[in-house]
């Protein structure tokens, strides 16, 4: 595959991820009560660089009077694909809570692939690494990552919601 074809396929891949991240609330969101914690990326702060394989979404919100920030990212270069999540909150409430069992929902997001987890720069970073050798060979392979970005978005937001709800009850 030459560079032009790779960039064209990567652009389509990134656009599909962007579409799913901004997907409007649906009936299933209501049925599963997802709408109580669903928050969308800030469009003006989204960053997409197809040539360098970078796609970043920023979500800022507050639950129960506590502010938080989540960055979800894709880095796809050559045969490597990294999906990252960084969670920050202004007073470290969330970070203290998430160092316990509450993060299992996030750790197991990709079932058999465990993320590298770091607590640095005032945030918790989760990075999953995948072999992307065949990423553009089949839409089925791409769809797995496209839909998992939405899945990660919801798991992270649900974990934050539950953790901050529990913290607000304890106060």
Tell me if 72 sits within 8 A of 18, measured CB to CB. no
Task: Kindly report the pTM of this predicted structure.
Answer: 0.91
Predicted confidence (pLDDT) at residue 159 exceeds the cutoff of 90:
no
Tell me if 75 sits within 8 A of 54, measured CB to CB. yes
Residue 24 lies in a domain: yes
- Least Cα distance to 79 among 148, 150, 129 occurs for 129
pLDDT tens digit sequence for 1-20: 899 999 999 999 999 999 99
Residue 18 lies in a domain: yes
The total number of structural domains that make up the chain: 1
Q: Residue 92 belongs to what domain range? A: 3-165
Residue 42 is predicted with a pLDDT of 98
Residue 171 lies in a domain: no
Residue 109 is predicted with a pLDDT of 83
pLDDT tens digit sequence for 72-87: 999 999 999 999 999 8
Residue 170 lies in a domain: no
Residue 122 lies in a domain: yes
Residue 161 lies in a domain: yes
Residue 136 is predicted with a pLDDT of 95
* Strands of the chain, DSSP E: 47-49, 54-63, 66-77, 80-88, 116-120, 123-131
Predicted confidence (pLDDT) at residue 120 exceeds the cutoff of 80:
no
Predicted confidence (pLDDT) at residue 100 exceeds the cutoff of 90:
no
């Amino acid at each position: 595959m030459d560079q032009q074809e790779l960039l064209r396929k990567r652009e389509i891949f990134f656009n599909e991820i962007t579409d799913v991240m901004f997907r409007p609330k649906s009936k299933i969101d209501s049925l599963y009560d997802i709408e109580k914690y669903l928050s969308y990326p800030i469009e003006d702060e989204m960053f997409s660089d197809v040539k360098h394989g970078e796609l970043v979404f920023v979500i800022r919100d507050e639950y129960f009077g506590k502010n938080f920030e989540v960055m979800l990212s894709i880095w796809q270069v050559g045969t490597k694909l990294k999906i990252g999540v960084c969670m920050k909150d202004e007073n470290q409430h969330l970070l203290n809570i998430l160092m316990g069992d509450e993060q299992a929902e996030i750790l197991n997001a990709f079932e058999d692939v465990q993320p590298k987890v770091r607590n640095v720069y005032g945030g918790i970073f989760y990075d999953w690494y995948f072999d992307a050798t065949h990423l553009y060979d089949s839409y089925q392979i791409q769809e797995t990552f496209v839909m998992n970005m939405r899945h990660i978005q919801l798991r992270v937001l649900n974990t934050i919601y539950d953790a901050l709800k529990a913290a607000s009850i304890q106060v």
